[in-house]
Structure 1
Amino acid sequence: MEKHHLLELGVGVGIVALVAIGTFLHQQASKVDTTGSSLKVATSGRVETLNSTTYSSLTASSTISATIVGLYARDAQGQIVSAISNGQPDVSANLKTYIFHLRPYHWSNGARVTAQDFVYAWQQLADPKTQARNAARIDFLKNGAAVRTGKKPVSALGVRALSKKRLEVTLQQANPYLDEILADTPMLPINQAFAQKWGKDYGANATRVLANGPYQITGWSGADDTTWRYVKNPNYYHAKRVQVKAIDFTSEADITKGAKAFEAGKFDYAALSPQQVPSFKGSNQLKTQRTTTEAFVFFNTTTGPTTNVELRRAIAQAVDKHNFTQSRLRDGAQPLNGLVPAGLTNMTNGRDYRAATGELLPYNLSKATAAWNRAKKQMGINHLNLTLTIADNDTANLAATYLAGQLEHNLPGLNITIQKVSLARRVVLETAGKFELVFSTWSPADSDPLNLLSFYQTGSRLNITGYTNAKFDAMGKAIEKSGTHPAKRLALVQQAERYLMTQQVPAVGFFQDGSAYLLDAGVKQFPIMPSGAINYEYVKVH
């Protein structure tokens, strides 16, 4: 669950995120291309698929969302706006049934986007045969959970085409975040005839996917490619507002090259690693901001020493997160003491949810020591060796080194071994439950805090901890049923989060990520979403 910088992320997706190493934008000349003809982007991630039902990385999510839009989308400020939906659905009195009226969007092969394209895509996402890691995102629909777990057929899913232009959506429970959910990558339409033509190869390269959004992708032949291109889609419904005609991407593992090239006048946007930030302190080109992307340490709750909740509680409180964000990251990041990040959503009185809920298991050495002593007594040990598994990149390495140092110093007798693997290998290990501790990041797809809680519900494919608890599952169901009462719903979310993160502790929040980058004055508008995602549709240059 780590972000590929999303600078991909968020694209509001609800998927497993990849740690960002950086993305930078450049051009061939010594200044920004003011003709609006092209931009050049280097990213640390690669695209593994263009199939919106099976992707697992945020690089892929970002690419898919730049080429395909759904019923709703996000504007330059990150606000939800209507897209294929005309924004005026017919809504039932109980707020569970919606009929969306579709605007005349077209696929890149000339076919009109129809209601059946949504039905097909959502049924594919829910179908257990697809084995989509983001399948739980379909649970907002009637029978969503039952379909994805194989208890009901895909035909029972709460979506149907009333005509080519009218889509009926039936919810399991009323949901105040519906428009945000419908803007997420997993909820994008798929042209059924085209997808069925290619079968399992749908989305495997640029010729096996259709676009209906601001850009089409070219020059991408598969998951091993390190270069690809966005080309402005002339048939896009809002083509007039897309200024940049082409964007060339290169997968670049070494983020330091971006800053050096920026200084040489070759780039107009360069993401920075935490280690680079001090070098640009005082520069008016240096920008930092907090994002909603979060970093966690996940515990294996099914086997090994980390099944002991006192051990998990000790680890959770033994790390000085404030020192890490201020002395190591220095990019706008802040400590995360809980599951829901600051700035994600507000209570009904307007107060930030995180501030209203408080800090859950913050750094407290005396409490950590007491929990560690209880854990050692319960396990009958004086010393313990644990392995922390990470994807081998700059951010994860920095975090793991700090975590190991803090834990070994503050919990005498505990030894941490850092296991560095590729991101793909880390995902395999965590999916198989072959880990003790995992460092990973996640970018919330929307502002509904329930999505973060749902990670830990029994049966969720995102629940790598293996945690299962009937009481917590019941709390989730109660939250879902309270959709028409926002204040009650948020209060139940708070109750569930406190129970999960203080009494059960299947994971511990580490930090809320920041974004540091250099931006040339020639870039007039470069929308970076709260998640850290870049909304290329609205990029403008002077």
Structure 2
Amino acid sequence: MNKKKGFALATSVTLISSAFLAACSGGDDTTTDTGSNGSGSEGTPDEAQVLNLLEGSDIPSLNPTLATDSVSFNVLNNVMEGLYRMDENDDPTPGMAEDVDISEDGLTYTFKIREGATWSNGEPVTANDFEYGWKEVLNPDNGSQYAYVMSVIEGAEAYNTGEGERDAVGVTAVDEQTLEVKLTAPADYFLGLTSFGVFMPKLESFDQEQGENLGTSVETTIYNGPFKLESWEREQGWKMVKNEEYWDAEAVKLEEINFRVVKEVQTGVNLYENGDVDRTGLTSELVAQFQDSEDFSTVVEPTLFYLQFNSAVEALDNQNIRNAIDRAYDKAAISETLLANGSIPANYLVPKDFVTGPDGNDFRDINGDIGGYNVEEAQQLWEAGLEELGTDTVELEFLNYDSEVAKQIGEFIKGELEKNLEGMTVTIKQQPFNNKLELESAGDFEMSFAGWGPDYQDPMTFVDLFVTDGPYNRGKWSNEEFDALIESAKSSTDAEQRWADLAAAEKIVLEESAISPVYQRGSARLTKPYVKDIVEHAFGADYSYKWASIEGKE
């Protein structure tokens, strides 16, 4: 994302891709979007199978061990393939694995690797490529920020934290075609998780040959998915072409996909109207202009944008100050006026309409909304916090993305906080996506605007972000009760108790304002009617182009 992920998620314009999340986090959804229009038909198109799209940032990394953002994970999802791949209904469908046998207790998965599956250099894809690739994510020497997502695998956490051995990890290549995976607890989401970027295979010989350069250029990347990169110009764009070595190449209709990096929404719209690109995202002022067009559509996604606070800053280590900030700005105005693209204000961590529990109800029904816009309450909390700090002023630097919409959101929040919280001064620091991720990873920020998309369909993909010393707990908030609830949920075999633990953990995050949720992302976009069957996912990577095509283009 980091869907995730992080996942490059942005502020909600998505130049129709995902540059606002950090993995499935971290992209900047204030860019342009490349989503699906959901239509399709049978038959082989006669038109040139070339799709032209926009992206809001460059690709940070195509090394599955190191990728953390949604831009990287979107590309990985289309140039590589895991054991399984998510289909148009977000159900796992066989990929590099032909099938799987799951033990009765749900703890052992035995995958049969597809015969005839090859890398783009002609070498066969084997079970060892998965054992090696996954263990490289867990290798503590590699510093993978996404290693924690493998904690459901036996021995994974111990190896990653230096307390266990590589050979004790429950991932074993029994032979070239058989991969055995042992879990610590049953996980219904595990098959889907194997489609996610960090679970991609790695060809050991190629990985060792490339070293630190792996995934930094066309020449240092190898592919086993529907497409492969033909060109990649930093900060300009990249081109994918059909991978003729892919096992299911007959199902791939597109011959070429061109991505152009564009940060300004109006530029994307101009390119769309000129016929240079086939999809673009819209900001609020453009929604009214195009909402009656047959090319217009909106969608609400299970992606959350929020303010994250660095507890190393004295003021932000104060719960009253954090709670005051959460209640001092109008989230509805951001969603409904600044964005106006289907986004909805959020006073929660786990998004609405994302996942249902053992009782069949939406997870969101348990805690409802916690916190949110209330100026009077914000001012009371603010005064209490200032008194505890022994000061009457607070100055904060606000780290933000450098996209157009992110700038508007940042300026709005700054204005609200300075207006409603006497003595507050906010200075905005806008940074390109990659720079922002680096600053956050290093803890070099005070307050920042962040986003997270789900890596798999379970509340845990959001809630465990904030465990003590977690790789995406960049504000270093810590709560022992919260940590204990997450540990209990991760080891529980009682579905109802697990759900209750996750709900209690979410409530602690929100009541203490470990973060301040801003909105659940929606996106408004224009899509040419001849673009068919781009699959848009609710979790993991945002888009699959394997089944997409161009049909009916004049």
> 2:183 maps to which residue?
171
Q: Contact between 1:175 and 1:480, CA under 8 Å: does it hold in 2?
A: no
TM-score, length-scaled by structure 1? 0.92
Identify the match of residue 458 of structure 1 among 459, 468, 471: 468
> 1:70 maps to which residue?
82
Distance 1:18 1:325, change over 3 A: closer
> 2:354 maps to which residue?
344
TM-score, length-scaled by structure 2? 0.90
Instruction: Give the superposition deviation at 1:307.
Output: 0.5
Partner AA of 2:384 in structure 1: R
**Pair 1:319-2:319 in alignment:** no
Identify the match of residue 108 of structure 2 among 83, 97, 105: 97
SS state at 1:297 partner: strand
| Whole-Å separation in 1 of the counterparts to 2:34 and 2:195 | 25
Distance 1:75 1:296, change over 3 A: same
Instruction: Give the superposition deviation at 1:456.
Output: 1.1
The one-character-per-residue Cα deviations of 1:73-113 (angstroms, maximum 9, x if unpaired) are 1112333222222333232x432222111222211122221
**Pair 1:539-2:534 in alignment:** no
Q: How does 1:16-27 map to 2 (within 5 A)?
A: 16-23=26-33
SS state at 1:386 partner: strand
Partner AA of 2:458 in structure 1: D
Identify the match of residue 152 of structure 1 among 164, 171, 176: 164
Instruction: Give the superposition deviation at 1:479.
Output: 0.3
Unmatched 5+ stretches in structure 1 = 26-32
> 1:279 maps to which residue?
289
> 2:260 maps to which residue?
250
SS state at 2:229 partner: strand
Q: How does 1:29-178 map to 2 (within 5 A)?
A: 35-91=47-103, 93-104=104-115, 105-178=117-190
Identify the match of residue 523 of structure 1 among 523, 531, 541: 531
Q: Contact between 1:271 and 1:516, CA under 8 Å: does it hold in 2?
A: yes
Instruction: Give the superposition deviation at 1:180.
Output: 2.0
**Pair 1:184-2:184 in alignment:** no
> 2:41 maps to which residue?
none
| Whole-Å separation in 1 of the counterparts to 2:287 and 2:236 | 27
| Whole-Å separation in 1 of the counterparts to 2:24 and 2:72 | 13
Name the stretch that deviates more: 121-130 or 234-243: 234-243
Instruction: Give the superposition deviation at 1:433.
Output: 2.4
**Pair 1:480-2:486 in alignment:** no
**Pair 1:492-2:501 in alignment:** yes
| Whole-Å separation in 1 of the counterparts to 2:28 and 2:532 | 29
Q: Contact between 1:12 and 1:183, CA under 8 Å: does it hold in 2?
A: no
Partner AA of 2:434 in structure 1: A
> 2:40 maps to which residue?
none
The one-character-per-residue Cα deviations of 1:220-241 (angstroms, maximum 9, x if unpaired) are 36xx352321111122222222
> 1:505 maps to which residue?
513
Q: Contact between 1:13 and 1:184, CA under 8 Å: does it hold in 2?
A: no
The one-character-per-residue Cα deviations of 1:441-474 (angstroms, maximum 9, x if unpaired) are 1111111111212211122211101122222111
Partner AA of 2:447 in structure 1: L
Instruction: Give the superposition deviation at 1:62.
Output: 1.1
The one-character-per-residue Cα deviations of 1:246-270 (angstroms, maximum 9, x if unpaired) are 1122222333122123223443322
Partner AA of 2:9 in structure 1: K
Partner AA of 1:509 in structure 2: P
Partner AA of 2:510 in structure 1: M
Distance 1:20 1:117, change over 3 A: farther
Partner AA of 1:167 in structure 2: L
Instruction: Give the superposition deviation at 1:429.
Output: 2.6
The one-character-per-residue Cα deviations of 1:169-228 (angstroms, maximum 9, x if unpaired) are 11122222111221111011111122122222222221222211111111136xx35232
> 2:39 maps to which residue?
none
| Whole-Å separation in 1 of the counterparts to 2:274 and 2:211 | 47
Percent of aligned positions that are identical? 25
> 2:9 maps to which residue?
3
SS state at 2:536 partner: coil
Unmatched 5+ stretches in structure 2 = 1-5, 36-44
Instruction: Give the superposition deviation at 1:23.
Output: 4.1
**Pair 1:359-2:369 in alignment:** yes
SS state at 1:86 partner: strand
> 2:459 maps to which residue?
449
The one-character-per-residue Cα deviations of 1:294-349 (angstroms, maximum 9, x if unpaired) are 11100111332100011001111222212221111111100111111112211223
**Pair 1:290-2:296 in alignment:** no
Distance 1:425 1:110, change over 3 A: closer
Distance 1:36 1:241, change over 3 A: farther
| Whole-Å separation in 1 of the counterparts to 2:328 and 2:173 | 53
Distance 1:72 1:16, change over 3 A: same
| Whole-Å separation in 2 of the counterparts to 1:112 and 1:213 | 13
Distance 1:451 1:266, change over 3 A: closer
Distance 1:186 1:24, change over 3 A: closer
Q: How does 1:250-269 map to 2 (within 5 A)?
A: 250-269=260-279
Q: How does 1:298-309 map to 2 (within 5 A)?
A: 298-309=308-319
Distance 1:281 1:467, change over 3 A: same
Instruction: Give the superposition deviation at 1:478.
Output: 0.4
| Whole-Å separation in 1 of the counterparts to 2:127 and 2:48 | 34
SS state at 1:169 partner: strand
| Whole-Å separation in 1 of the counterparts to 2:90 and 2:17 | 13
Distance 1:510 1:11, change over 3 A: closer
| Whole-Å separation in 2 of the counterparts to 1:42 and 1:362 | 34
Q: What is the RMSD computed on CA atoms of the aligned residues?
A: 2.3
